[in-house]
Structure 1
């Protein structure tokens, strides 16, 4: 029998965050993530479609708060070596970014149904891709100017702006010494001759009326450098287990 062949090796090193707080500048140090207090105004002025962007800190357990429609839940991860699916990735644990949106008249940025309401009632915790009840949530809340025609261009601009905020911490995360990581895990994409072939099919929206999806961005779960599945014609795309694990698909629907 032929030996198995290793196609890709991915190392994910995690750095745990114990506390999130506001500060004079953005930083990650000694388990504390600080958010520059001036970023609200900076990102509000970054696009003329924005009425207000507010970056809130939601502490563990503080879920009885009103939120606008949930547009995405995003981990903070970055490539240190190699491309998505291989090399080295640094990621933060203990914190997620929650992107929500509405316009200044309260019209929710949703397509077929809205998830606005009390956070405790709208988000299932402790699942793959969602925060645990011990995690901090950085709430990136976008309020658009009223009267805009909400389409794919505008929702993509919102996701890009949130991605620019996350990139601030990705750039810091790249510089952290991997030897100080809280945990380190290795994952391998392998070919096993003679074994069963397993394919998992994931369907994502591709109608293009309002939302989009990105494939193979420059950063895990990012926007920049990604390919729109709508622009690709909604053709089937094959991802390896490590590419999927490393954030090669950003489902924005």
Structure 2
């Protein structure tokens, strides 16, 4: 009986690693069509009496303005090009700040955020964090930083039913993502932490301050060599 159980566990582990590695390798070349968060948000809209909405249009890395890429790095992960998926200094800073504040901040990198957005379900738990770390490592192993940024900016939630930078650019500024200015890009990046509550075109004082800090960090960044 024990041998049968161990054999089952072995086969399950082999199957799991095989499927997940294939999944990550597939998305190196194939653009993710939809995420679990998009589906969940769609059902939330329906339960609120709204129409189903997933406003999303994929654009290539080269069709995203350089200011938007810089704004994302400046806002979310300033060491994005230098780390292997995890910024332990940012994590330590977040843990220290959260221990003295009721307003929690995250220490997740762009790679980690991409992993949870594309491969995982919405929510918070230690189990989910473990899966997030696993998929982050796979991304860093099999994808380039350019691909991670491309997927990130095409899948991230940017408003009610709005996903990806192209949909955000059209919704908020009625232009293509490739034409976003540095101020528009910083405004969009400023709402990343809470896109259902905040707006880049009708910002609160807090969001305006975030935009100012992002613009400041954008000027400090060196060249982004993707």
Shorter-normalised TM range: under 0.3
More strand by share: 1
The two structures have a TM-score, normalised by structure 2, of: 0.26
More helix by share: 2
